[in-house]
Amino acid sequence: MYRQYAYPPLSFLPFPDPSIYEDPDDDYGYLDTNTNASTSTKEHSFHPVDWNIDTLKKNSELNNCTVCYENERTHLFTPCNHLACCIDCIERLETNRCPICNQVYNDYIRVLKP
């Protein structure tokens, strides 16, 4: 007589279905090794874009304060050197942590842009 087990001994477990070890069906042709990569590339057309770099810099969201998203970024935190905030948001920060990297900052410096 055998002891009571919470789980049956391995000898009582059924053998897994051998089909789980077969290669998967290739419904989309991804596994076809006879295709040549150079023949499957598509040609892309490029269209010239007319834009002004100064307009992009002024209107870019990358230049907006990371806290209020309204004013321009004007101050850089040290030692992480992230140009992250406007002066209004720096004065409202509750902790001395950079809003980008969360590193404690020692000081901030106003950055003058041309």
How open is the CA angle 15-18-23, to the nearest 5 degrees?
150
Amino acid at 66: T
Global confidence as pTM: 0.46
Cite the beta strand spans of 27-101 per DSSP E: 75-78, 83-85
Residue with more model confidence, 53 or 97: 97
pLDDT band at 113 (very low <50, low <70, confident <90, very high): confident
Arithmetic mean of pLDDT, 28-42: 57
Is residue 69 very low, low, confident or very high in pLDDT (cuts 50, 70, 90)?
confident
CB of 87 within 8 A of CB of 78?
A: no
The rounded distance, in Å, linking the Cα atoms of 93 and 86 is 11
Give how far Cα 79 sits from Cα of 50, 57, 59, 82, 111, Å: 39, 25, 28, 8, 15
pLDDT at 100 over 70: yes
CATH of domain 60-113: 3.30.40.10
- Are 46 and 62 in contact, with CB atoms under 8 Å apart? no
What pLDDT sits at residue 88?
94
Q: What does the pLDDT look like over 80-92, one tens digit per residue?
A: 989 989 999 999 9
Share of the chain above pLDDT 90, in %: 25
CA distance linking residue 55 with residue 88, whole number of Å: 25
